Amino acid sequence: MQPVNEVAVNAESTDAFQVVCRINNIGDLGKFTTIKVVRVQGHSYQTLVQMQNIDVAATDKYRKPVLGSGVLGWTAVGEYSTANPRDSYVGVARQMSVMSCNDAVTYRCEVAYTTPSPDFLPQNGVINKTLFVQGNSFFT
């Protein structure tokens, strides 16, 4: 399986557009603290969704995808895998029919994690993908 570098999508489709952050390719991941999808437009950053894996199970955000404050029109998607935390993922989805040129921005996956024992060193990972609009089609 290979990552897709460019995707064309029919903007009149009833399908959902998804931005998903997966952490299974981080080689030195011991435990993730947070994974999130961030919308980047110029110098403006908006957390669309995040999942926390902190040691405070009493919080309502613990191991669940939660939309960021003020995020409208998106649905949080994701799952924490108790069998293998590396298979955990978080993302957002919205209907293609409600997307507009305003959605043609950079979407960023941010991961905060620690390396395996014995060091438990804090690390951060970031990857960006930009959604471009051309005519009635969207490209990433």
Q: Letter for the amino acid at 119?
A: D
Pick the CATH number of 8-139 from 2.60.40.10, 3.40.190.10, 1.20.1560.10, 3.40.50.300: 2.60.40.10
- What are the two backbone dihedrals, phi and then psi, of residue 52, each rounded to the nearest 5 degrees? -105, 140
Domain boundaries, given as residue ranges, for the chain: 8-139
Distance from the first to the final alpha carbon of the chain? 18
| Tokens of residue 112, six digits | 């905060």
| Tokens of residue 84, six digits | 């293998």
Q: pLDDT tens digits for the chain (140 residues)?
A: 445 455 455 556 677 888 899 888 777 777 888 899 999 988 999 999 999 887 666 666 788 999 999 999 999 999 998 888 888 899 999 887 777 777 878 899 998 888 888 888 888 888 878 876 655 555 55
pTM for the model: 0.76
At which residue do the structure tokens 């040691």 appear?
Answer: 55
For residues 52 and 70, give the distance between their C-alpha atoms in angstroms, rounded to a whole number: 18
- What are the two backbone dihedrals, phi and then psi, of residue 19, each rounded to the nearest 5 degrees? -120, 115
For residues 82 and 63, give the distance between their C-alpha atoms in angstroms, rounded to a whole number: 10
At which residue do the structure tokens 């051309």 appear?
Answer: 134
